[in-house]
Structures are given as C-alpha cells and as structure tokens.
Structure 1
Amino acid sequence: MSGEMLSREQLLELFQRFSLVISQPDVKKRIADAVLDNQEAVAVTTAIQEEILVDMGIEPRFGLACLGKVNMAYENDQDLMIQFYGFVAKEELACEEAELGPDKFAEKLQLQQKLQEAQLEMLKQIRNYHLDDQSLILEKLHQQMEMNNFDSEMSLLSLEEIQDIVRRRVTPVYRPRQPTS
C-alpha cells in the first residue's frame, strides 16, 4: 500500500507527532495569532501537518491527500481508525480554541461536559426499560435530533418525555370502529 498510500506506521507517527505539537503553548499561540490576522485556523494546522510530513521525509501534498483516503484504505483497522478520529478531533479542538479564545473555549468545554453527563444519566434511565421500549425511545430521540439539525442540545430527553414515549406505546390509540356495510 506504500505506493499510493501512507503506511499504517507512518500514519500513526503523524498522528502522534501532531498530537504532541498541537498541545504546545507556542503552537496554540501561532494558531490564535493567525486567527487574529484573519487567517483560517485550519490553514495553520494544515501547515503544521505539512511540516511534520516533510520532517518524516514524506512529500506534503501526497501525505495530505492520503489523509483524505484513510477512511477507505483502513476502514477495517479499528485501532487506526480510532487514532485517526482522535487526530481529527485534536485538529478541530485546536482550531476551535484559537477561534473562540481561551475563556470562551473553556466555557464551551464545560458545557459539553455537562451535556455528556446529562446524556449518560439519560442512557442509564433508558436502560431500565425493556429492549423494545429502548429502541422506541432512541428512535424518538433520533427524530428529535434530525428535526433540529443534530443540535447537541437536542440530544436529551427528560425522564418525563421518556415515560411519555413508553406510555404512548403501551396505550393503544383509540380508533372508532368503522361501520361494516
């Protein structure tokens, strides 16, 4: 696979090196300064990836093109895919931190943490129900999220909403009988 794609080892090295570099204060400042200068944060993270690729002896355009094909080339390598999504998430977080600034970014992370805790509590509640009910509850949650463009705030159901969904499933809808002619 080395001719048209980076090897697994090369990708893992890139992910690991990027993770180390992106967390350094001077690199965070470099990205933030670029944002203040009306540049895209992602342009800086891409430049950082190019620098790492050059340092690894890999032609940067080829390396970046390979990143776009990781999903297809390594779809069956679960560990590599987890590392890849971690790499993508770190890049997104670095860009977001630069764009929001440290205070707003910390606030956003705190809100995300609270949302995840609430989601976990909701899932614990859902686990108390029968599997059929769990499926129905998750289907309703999916519909709710879909109708709201997958806004993370809409990824929660209250205990009352969960109970209502289950109650409606159990209670048949009253339909008057059609007269037989």
Structure 2
Amino acid sequence: MLTASGAPRDSERPKMLSREQLLHLFSRFAFLTSQPDVKKQIADAVKDKQEAVAVTTTLQEEILLEMGIDPRFGIACLGKVNSVYENDRDLMIQFYRFVAKEEMAIDEAELEANEFAEKMDNQQKMQEQQLEMLKYIRKFHPDDQSAVLESLHRQMEKANFDNSPAFLTVDQIQDIVWRRSAP
C-alpha cells in the first residue's frame, strides 16, 4: 500500500539490502577501485587533505545510485551486514573482502609506495601463516578445531582486532588441544 504521497509505507520498505544487491556492490566496488583513474582520484583527495574514506564512501554511494538505491539507506545497510547475514558464510567472506579492498585502496593512497609494498608483503606473510595454521588444525577433531578458532577469536577481540596476529602457532594450538583433553 502506498501513502498519499505515493511512497511505500514504512512497513513495506526493505530494511536491508538483498544478498544479490550486496554482492553487486562488492563486485563493482572491487572493479572500480582497481582502475587507475579511481586510484588517482583517491590519492589526489589525500594530497588535498581530504579523508580517503570519504572518497571511497562517495564511490560506494555512486554505485548504490547506479543500482537505484538511496545511498544513505545502502551505506546504513553496510553497518548491519554482520548481524543480518552472520550465518551466510559466503556473503560474509565477500563482505570482508570488500572491507579489505576499501582498506587497501585507502592505504595505497595514503602510504608511500615503499610503505605500501611493505604492508602488502607483511599481509601476504600473515595470510601464509594463517593458511598453514588452518591446514594444521584440520588434523584435529572438529571440537578441537572449534576450540582453537574460538581461542583465536578471543585473542583478536582482546586486541580489539587491531594489529593482532590472526593466527596461532603450532605450540599454542597443541596447548589448546592438550588442555581440552587433559583430565
């Protein structure tokens, strides 16, 4: 039902972007932020003392407009992805890639070339360590795997998800498994 102004009633308005809309936004944003002219636009904004995040948010708003979505609504929805889609593992992976892509675009604009290269190298090394950790914990019972991942999550939460290693060493993993099986 429409109101007298012809707008849908609040109860009929969507409260969240659909999965397909979010995936389109994430994909389009990744494509655009890989384009040299967009990279230059973000870097120029930083040189002009603008916040790089303001430029990436504007880019997201433009994508939402292309999609026929009110940008304020769409941006607000991004803040709710974790709670609304928490059980959609594939979407959450895409969401975290989207967040990482935005962070990378900002870092590339704000850091000197050698600083950015060093950060990317460190990130690559951390991802390799995470992969090795995941391969290693696959050797254990699923309950032990869950305990290890929960311990990692607590460690990251304690560090407020900032600059904390997102992996555990073999010794830390063995200790967690041992404590679970100890009488």
Which one has a bigger Cα radius of gyration? 1
TM-score surpassing 0.5? yes
Structure 2 unaligned blocks of 5 or more: 1-11, 175-183
Summarize the alignment of residues 103-114 of structure 1 with structure 2, pairs less than 5 Å apart.
103-114=114-125
- Aligned identity (percent) is 67
Q: Are the structure 2 counterparts of residues 91 and 141 from structure 1 closer, same or farther at C-alpha, using a change threshold of 3 Å?
A: closer
Structure 1 unaligned blocks of 5 or more: 164-181
RMSD: 3.7
Q: Which residue of 1 aligns with 2:56?
A: 45
The CA deviation string for residues 112-142 of structure 1, in whole angstroms up to 9 with x for no partner, is 223444565677788899xxxx999999989
For residue 101 of structure 1, the aligned residue among 112, 115, 128 is 112
Q: Are the structure 2 counterparts of residues 137 and 35 from structure 1 closer, same or farther at C-alpha, using a change threshold of 3 Å?
A: same
Count of paired positions: 172
CA distance in 2, matches of 1:6, 1:136: 33
Q: Which residue of 1 aligns with 2:100?
A: 89
Structure-1-length-normalised TM-score: 0.69
Q: Are the structure 2 counterparts of residues 45 and 155 from structure 1 closer, same or farther at C-alpha, using a change threshold of 3 Å?
A: closer
CA distance in 2, matches of 1:135, 1:156: 14
The CA deviation string for residues 74-129 of structure 1, in whole angstroms up to 9 with x for no partner, is 11211111111111111111111111133321121112223444565677788899
Q: Are the structure 2 counterparts of residues 2 and 11 from structure 1 closer, same or farther at C-alpha, using a change threshold of 3 Å?
A: farther
Structure-2-length-normalised TM-score: 0.68
Summarize the alignment of residues 1-181 of structure 1 with structure 2, pairs less than 5 Å apart.
3-118=14-129, 152=163
Whichever residue aligns with residue 108 of structure 1, its letter is K
